Structure 1
Amino acid sequence: MSKKPSPTQSDTGRAKTQASVLAFQLPGSGAAEQAVPDWVQIFPAGPVVATNDGRAFRITDPVRLVAAINAGKMPVLVDYDHRSYFEPYDGGDTLAAGWCSAVEARADGIWARIDWTPLAAQRIRDREFRFISPEFSVDRGEGEVVALAAISLVNRPAFAMTALARSNPNQGDDDMRAIATALGLPEDADEAAILAAIGTRNTELAASRTPPADRFMPRADYDAVLARATSAETELASIRTAQRSVEVEAVIAAAVSAGKIAPASKPHYVALAATDAGFEQIKQLCASLPPVVGSVQVGGANPPGTTLSDVERHIAGSMGLTDDQYVTARASLRAADNS
C-alpha cells in the first residue's frame, strides 16, 4: 500500500481488493515470566481465524502463505502497538522492537522467529508487553490472508494465541509433580528419585522384551539346530533308502532262487517294491507264490551244505544273519514251498 490511512480516516482510501488489518481488542490479563522467546505465534490455526471482537479471516493454505512470507527480500518489521502503520503526524513511528527472520506453519498455527532488540527484550522481561499482533493484508472478496506487513508487541491482541510468556511461572514444578505421581512416587519427590524410578521402569521394560531361555532361543542357534536337523533327516532318509534296497534285493533274490519269480521279471518286482505298501505286498506275494520255474542258482553254483554264494552271503550280512542262519532260513523256505 502506498499510503496508510490514519485511524480516523474512512476505508475508502484503501485498495479495492485487499485490506490491511490491525489486530486490536479489549485488554487482556495474566502474569508473565522473565523468558524472552525466539519463536512466537502470529496466527492461530485455520482455515478460519477469528478475532476476539467478531471479525473472521481465512488461511486455507498456511504452507503457501508461509512460503510467500519467507520469499520476501526484506525482513518483516516488529514494532510497538502497530505504530509504524500510522503516519508520523498521526502519532506513529517506525521504532523497531525486532525483526522477523523466518516463519513456519505448525499444527496450532503460524509462528515467527523474532530477533529482538535489547530494548524490546527488556520491556518483555519487565512485563510491559505480553502479546503479539500481526498486521496483514487480506483479499476483500474471499477474506483470505495474503501477506504479512508487520508484527507488533501489544497488550490488546485480537487473536487468542500463545502469549510471550507462560501465565503460570510454576508450570515446571507442576510438571514434575505430575511425573512423580505417574511413577507412583510422592508429589514432592526430588529429581534424583524421579530419574531413578524412570531408570527402573526402563530396566523392567527391557526385561519384559527379553524372552525366557526355556521357551525361546536366539535366531542363530535356531538356524544351527534346524540345519543339523535337516542334515540328520537327509542322512536318515538315505540310510532308510539303502536299507530298503537291501531288503528288497534279499526278498526278490530269494524268490528268484526258489523259482517263484523268473529272473527276467526281477526288475519289475523291484520297481513294485519301491514304496512301503508295495514292499509289503511283494513280501506277501513271494511268501505265498509256488515255484513256477526250476530252482535258479544266483551268482554261480550253490554248493551243498553251509556254503553260500556271494549274493546269498551279501543278503545274509545285510539282514544280520550268519551263514548257518541264512542256510536254515533258506531250507525252511524251500521246505514250505515244496509242501
Structure 2
Amino acid sequence: MTTPTQALSDAGVSIWLDDLSRPRLEDGSLKALIAEKNVVGVTTNPTIFQTAITKGHGYDDQLRELVASGADAEKAVFEITTADVAAGCRLFAPVAEATNGVDGRVSIEVDPRKAWDTAGTIAEAKRLHGKVAEPNVYIKIPATVEGLEAIAETLAAGISVNVTLIFSLERYRAVVNAFMIGLEKAKAAGHDLSQIHSVASFFVSRVDTEVDTRLDTIGTDQAKALKGKAGLANARLAYQIYQQEFTTERWKLLADAGALPQRPLWASTGVKDPAYPDTLYVTGLVAPNVVNTMPEKTLEATYDHAQVTGDTITGTYAESNAHLDALAAQGIDYNDVVTVLETEGLDKFVASWNDLLTDVETTLSETAHGARA
C-alpha cells in the first residue's frame, strides 16, 4: 500500500525534515525516516541547534574538547554545527548521488546577524561551505535586499544556496533574478552549472498567522470567512512565478548550459492554528518539482493521515489572486503584511542565534567546571 509520504514523492514533492541533531544522527532515527517516510533532505536553524546542544549529553565529548582548546561560544557553535551538518551530508550522500544532487541536501544557516551585510554574508557562506566540505551542503542566506547580491555572488562562486525567509511575491521575483545572475556569473567563470543547486524557501503558515490576526481585529463575518487561506494563496502564486520565470529565453540559455531550476521550497509548514487541518500546508501545496520541509510533528501527521490527491497548485491562480483582492477589500495591506513578517522573521532569527550563543557559553562553562547535569 502506498503511504501518503510516498504519494507526495510520486507527485513531485521532495520531503525534507526541519530538524537535525547529533543524537538523531547517531541513534538511527534520521536514517529510519529516509528509509520509511521518504525524507530526502534536512534543514536546520539556530533554535534546532540550541535545543540539541543544551538538552541531553549528545555533545559532551566535543564540548570537553572545545573547552580544552579554549574555544569561545562563537567558535564552539561553528565547530558543532558544521560537524553535524557534515555528518548529515554524509548520511544523505546516497540520496544525493541517486538524484544527481537535487535532493540529499542538508542546509546550514549563515549567521543571521549578517543579514544586512552583503560582504559579511558572502564571506560567511564561503567559510561554512569550506568547513563542511561536502558536495551536498546548502548554505542558507536570508532574502533581504542586502542578501540578494550575496545570494548571486555565492552562487557565482559555485556554492549551492538555500534562499530563506521569503514572504512576498515581489521579493521572490528578485530572488529568482539573483539566482540567474549568480548562474550567469558562474558560467562566465567556467563553473559546471549542473553542480550548482538552489531552493527558494517561501514561508507559509506565518502569513496566515499575521493575516488572521488582522481579520480578527476587523471582526466582521465577511472578514472571518477569509481566514486560513492567505498562506496557501500566496505560496500558490509563487509557484506561478516559478513556472513563468523558468520558461524564459534567459533561463533557456542557462538550462542549455546544464543549469537546473531553483525549486520552490515550502517552509513554516507546521500549522499554528489548531482549528486548521494539521497537514494543511502539505496537501494544499502539492506540485511537481517543489520541496516541503516539515517539522517532525507535521511529517508524522502527513505519514499517518494526509490525503494526497495530486497537484493542488496548478489551476488555482485566479482563485488565489481573488483571495488576495478580497483581503485588500477588507483593508488588509499585503505589502505591510509581508514587510512585518520579514522584519519579525529576521528579529526571530537573530534572537535565536543570540540565545544559542548564550546557552552554548553557559554549557561550555558548566563543562569546564564539571557541572553539567
* TM-score interval for Structure 1 and Structure 2 normalised by the shorter chain: under 0.3
Identify, as 1 or 2, the structure richer in helix. Answer: 2
Q: Which has the higher strand share?
A: 1
TM-score w.r.t. the length of structure 2 is 0.20
Higher relative contact order (CA 8 A, sep 6+): 2
TM-score by length of 1: 0.21
